[in-house]
Amino acid sequence: MEDMLLLKLGEIVLKGLNRKQFEMKLMGNVTRRLRRFGKCKCYCIQSTLYVEPQEDGFDMDGAMEAVRYIFGIASISRAIACEKDKDAMVEAAKNYLGDALSRAASFKVESRRSDKRFPMTSIEISQYVGGELSEAYPQVPVDVHNPDLTIHVEVRDLAAYVHGPAIPGAGGLPVGSNGRAISLLSGGIDSPVSTYMIAKRGISIYPVHFFSFPYTSELAKQKVLELGGLLTKYCGRMSVIVVPFTHIQEEIREKCPEEYFTLIMRRFMMRIAQQLADMHDAHALVTGENLGQVASQTMEAMAVTQAPIRLPVLQPLMGMDKEEIVTIARRIGTFETSILPYEDCCTVFTPRHPKTRPTLQEIEEAEQVLEVDALVTEAVAGIERIKVGE
């Protein structure tokens, strides 16, 4: 008996004339993610994406696990198709869910009739299938209010489908449906979460990491690559862009007032990220900044930091407290890696008394001793691209 997956669309169903574009992007993402499990057919009808195995040995368990992390899917059901006939539905339920029904303390049947040409209403389908199953499994009582097992019957355009309870999908919009962005990925807790949250809005991510060897170690770099790999199950295939940042930080330490070290460093990060965005046709930058969390994340400091660039800076964590961020990090699986004790470039040359209420004029005056354009060009020329995950 060949089962299949029914992937119910999320907020894509709210789209208007461009809805087809979102559906096509989602189908492409699903097809690519499932390729390693075997040959399958994907198609979209009535706000549902169907995944049908096309060969023996298709790894349905692996596919089921993979689609849980694909943005754009609201719920996932493993189902069996049958003829649009009331008795065929009963037999499909017995064959496909009979073992689960035998073990259940109680059950009910919920039906949905999308094909309005089918002669029975949803209620009539539930009553008929539920009645037949009750006779076949008299030891399992019907409980329409709090059942141990709910059997779902869906009458759709091509066939009827029988399945057990659905599991939640990742929600959001398909990655790639809303453009591209550069995400600044450090080794901390916040930036992987912000990357995840922006990818959930349908944005393809180009993660960028600033590496200051020998002040930051190879272990710190590997930690960031591991974080990037963990994010690929949500974001899709990615390459981490590693930017050599040592020379810039040494120049700042040597020539600029200590209280401005972090702010000037972050202004360089923004300039470099914007150049990388131009190279990749990306239209925004993403950071894990959180208002008031550290000295460089006051409103004045962030305004100064973002002043050199023209692209919008997306900051999805801005209004969250740390516990909320940690909760998401644990849920998406990045927390344990993020707390590994390896430093990143943001902790290099940290000022003892950082400026928290800077003005743009004083920062620009402090930068005048630096060859800004040359340093940015040098850093961009030395980037390394490292594939992670899939």
**Are 132 and 190 spatial neighbours (Cβ–Cβ below 8 Å)?**
no
The H helix count followed by the E strand count for the chain is: 13, 14
pLDDT of residue 356: 84
pLDDT of residue 196: 98
pLDDT of residue 349: 74
Grouped pLDDT means (10 residues each) for the chain, 390 residues = 90 91 95 94 93 93 96 97 96 96 97 94 97 96 96 96 96 96 94 97 97 89 95 94 96 93 95 97 95 83 94 95 96 95 73 86 95 97 90
pLDDT of residue 174: 97
pLDDT of residue 345: 66
DSSP of 110-169? EEEE--TTSSS-HHHHHHHHHHHHHHH-TTS-B-SSS-SEEEEEEE-SS-EEEE---EEE
